[in-house]
Amino acid sequence: MVVSGVQETVVKAALEYDRTKELKAFDETKAELNCRPAEVQPPVVEIGGIQGLDRRKEIVNEVRIAAAKWGFFQVVGHGIPLTVLEEMIEGVCLFHEQDLEARKEFYSRDSTRSVRLNTNFDLFMSSTANWRDTLIISVSASGTQDPNEFPAICR
Protein backbone atom coordinates (compact mmCIF):
# COMPACT_ATOMS: atom_id res chain seq x y z
CA MET A 1 0.00 0.00 0.00
CA VAL A 2 1.34 3.41 -0.96
CA VAL A 3 0.83 6.13 1.63
CA SER A 4 0.88 9.78 0.57
CA GLY A 5 2.55 12.48 2.62
CA VAL A 6 -0.81 13.75 3.90
CA GLN A 7 -1.96 10.27 4.84
CA GLU A 8 1.34 9.63 6.59
CA THR A 9 0.96 12.85 8.62
CA VAL A 10 -2.59 11.90 9.62
CA VAL A 11 -1.57 8.37 10.62
CA LYS A 12 1.41 9.70 12.61
CA ALA A 13 -0.78 12.24 14.42
CA ALA A 14 -3.34 9.56 15.27
CA LEU A 15 -0.66 7.26 16.68
CA GLU A 16 0.84 10.07 18.77
CA TYR A 17 -2.51 11.37 20.09
CA ASP A 18 -2.74 11.11 23.86
CA ARG A 19 -6.41 11.50 24.81
CA THR A 20 -5.74 11.42 28.56
CA LYS A 21 -3.19 14.22 28.20
CA GLU A 22 -5.67 16.29 26.17
CA LEU A 23 -8.47 15.72 28.70
CA LYS A 24 -6.22 16.69 31.61
CA ALA A 25 -5.13 19.85 29.79
CA PHE A 26 -8.75 20.76 29.12
CA ASP A 27 -9.73 20.00 32.73
CA GLU A 28 -6.98 22.28 34.04
CA THR A 29 -8.40 25.21 32.07
CA LYS A 30 -11.68 24.81 33.98
CA ALA A 31 -13.33 25.79 30.69
CA GLU A 32 -16.12 23.27 31.20
CA LEU A 33 -17.48 25.54 33.92
CA ASN A 34 -18.58 27.91 31.18
CA CYS A 35 -18.39 25.84 28.02
CA ARG A 36 -21.62 27.06 26.41
CA PRO A 37 -21.06 30.29 24.48
CA ALA A 38 -23.27 33.11 25.78
CA GLU A 39 -24.71 33.81 22.32
CA VAL A 40 -26.14 30.28 21.96
CA GLN A 41 -29.79 30.22 23.00
CA PRO A 42 -32.14 27.25 22.81
CA PRO A 43 -35.17 27.60 20.56
CA VAL A 44 -38.15 29.16 22.30
CA VAL A 45 -41.67 27.96 21.53
CA GLU A 46 -44.49 30.32 22.57
CA ILE A 47 -47.61 28.23 23.18
CA GLY A 48 -50.02 31.06 23.91
CA GLY A 49 -53.16 30.75 21.80
CA ILE A 50 -52.74 27.02 21.28
CA GLN A 51 -56.53 26.59 21.40
CA GLY A 52 -56.82 28.09 17.90
CA LEU A 53 -56.45 25.52 15.13
CA ASP A 54 -54.09 27.66 13.00
CA ARG A 55 -51.93 28.57 15.99
CA ARG A 56 -51.85 24.93 17.11
CA LYS A 57 -50.48 23.91 13.69
CA GLU A 58 -47.81 26.62 13.92
CA ILE A 59 -46.79 25.46 17.40
CA VAL A 60 -46.60 21.82 16.31
CA ASN A 61 -44.35 22.87 13.41
CA GLU A 62 -42.11 24.97 15.70
CA VAL A 63 -41.76 22.03 18.10
CA ARG A 64 -40.99 19.66 15.21
CA ILE A 65 -38.26 21.94 13.85
CA ALA A 66 -36.72 22.64 17.28
CA ALA A 67 -36.73 18.96 18.24
CA ALA A 68 -35.22 17.87 14.92
CA LYS A 69 -32.53 20.57 14.84
CA TRP A 70 -31.66 20.94 18.53
CA GLY A 71 -33.21 18.00 20.37
CA PHE A 72 -34.72 20.34 22.96
CA PHE A 73 -36.46 23.70 23.30
CA GLN A 74 -37.88 26.11 25.86
CA VAL A 75 -41.65 26.47 26.20
CA VAL A 76 -43.07 29.86 27.22
CA GLY A 77 -46.56 31.25 27.47
CA HIS A 78 -47.86 28.20 29.34
CA GLY A 79 -49.16 30.17 32.32
CA ILE A 80 -47.39 28.06 34.96
CA PRO A 81 -46.07 30.38 37.69
CA LEU A 82 -42.29 30.56 38.06
CA THR A 83 -42.58 29.50 41.71
CA VAL A 84 -44.23 26.22 40.66
CA LEU A 85 -41.46 25.53 38.13
CA GLU A 86 -38.78 26.27 40.74
CA GLU A 87 -40.48 23.98 43.27
CA MET A 88 -40.68 21.23 40.65
CA ILE A 89 -36.94 21.48 39.97
CA GLU A 90 -36.22 21.49 43.71
CA GLY A 91 -38.38 18.37 44.17
CA VAL A 92 -36.58 16.49 41.40
CA CYS A 93 -33.18 17.49 42.84
CA LEU A 94 -34.26 16.35 46.30
CA PHE A 95 -35.48 13.05 44.84
CA HIS A 96 -32.12 12.34 43.20
CA GLU A 97 -30.24 13.32 46.38
CA GLN A 98 -32.06 10.65 48.42
CA ASP A 99 -30.28 7.46 49.35
CA LEU A 100 -30.36 4.57 46.91
CA GLU A 101 -32.94 2.54 48.84
CA ALA A 102 -35.53 5.33 48.66
CA ARG A 103 -35.03 5.71 44.90
CA LYS A 104 -35.06 1.95 44.19
CA GLU A 105 -38.78 1.82 44.97
CA PHE A 106 -39.42 3.72 41.73
CA TYR A 107 -36.88 1.95 39.50
CA SER A 108 -38.58 0.23 36.58
CA ARG A 109 -38.30 -0.32 32.84
CA ASP A 110 -42.07 -0.89 32.62
CA SER A 111 -43.30 1.93 30.39
CA THR A 112 -46.89 1.41 31.57
CA ARG A 113 -46.01 2.67 35.06
CA SER A 114 -46.87 6.33 35.40
CA VAL A 115 -44.01 7.02 37.82
CA ARG A 116 -40.65 5.36 37.33
CA LEU A 117 -36.94 5.91 37.76
CA ASN A 118 -34.80 4.73 34.91
CA THR A 119 -31.10 4.67 34.14
CA ASN A 120 -29.82 4.65 30.60
CA PHE A 121 -33.24 4.19 28.96
CA ASP A 122 -31.66 2.59 25.87
CA LEU A 123 -29.29 0.33 27.83
CA PHE A 124 -30.18 -2.81 25.89
CA MET A 125 -30.27 -1.12 22.47
CA SER A 126 -27.33 1.28 22.50
CA SER A 127 -23.79 0.22 21.67
CA THR A 128 -22.49 2.56 24.39
CA ALA A 129 -23.68 3.37 27.90
CA ASN A 130 -24.60 6.97 28.64
CA TRP A 131 -25.36 6.78 32.35
CA ARG A 132 -28.06 9.12 33.54
CA ASP A 133 -30.87 8.76 36.01
CA THR A 134 -34.27 9.93 34.82
CA LEU A 135 -37.38 10.32 36.95
CA ILE A 136 -40.36 9.93 34.64
CA ILE A 137 -43.76 11.14 35.81
CA SER A 138 -46.31 10.58 33.08
CA VAL A 139 -49.54 12.45 33.67
CA SER A 140 -52.56 11.24 31.76
CA ALA A 141 -54.37 13.65 29.46
CA SER A 142 -57.48 13.30 31.60
CA GLY A 143 -55.60 14.73 34.59
CA THR A 144 -56.75 11.90 36.83
CA GLN A 145 -53.23 11.06 38.06
CA ASP A 146 -53.18 10.00 41.71
CA PRO A 147 -50.68 12.32 43.46
CA ASN A 148 -50.04 9.55 46.00
CA GLU A 149 -48.16 7.68 43.26
CA PHE A 150 -45.59 10.50 43.11
CA PRO A 151 -42.50 10.24 45.29
CA ALA A 152 -43.40 12.01 48.56
CA ILE A 153 -40.40 14.32 48.23
CA CYS A 154 -41.67 15.53 44.82
CA ARG A 155 -45.28 16.29 45.72
Of the listed ranges 2-6, 82-86, 138-142, 149-153, the one predicted with least confidence = 2-6
Contacts (Cβ under 8 Å, ≥6 apart) of 74: 42, 43, 44, 45
- Which span out of 15-24, 108-117, 126-135 was modeled with the highest average pLDDT? 108-117
Inter-residue contact 78 to 87 (CB < 8 Å)? no
pLDDT range class, residue 108, cuts 50, 70, 90: confident
> Residue 31 carries which DSSP code?
G
Q: What is the pLDDT of residues 18-41, one digit of tens each?
A: 767 765 676 666 554 444 455 678
74-76/115-119 β-pairing: unpaired
- Model confidence at 137: pLDDT above 90: no
74-76/44-46 β-pairing: parallel
Residues in a beta bridge with 133: 119
- Model confidence at 139: pLDDT above 70: yes
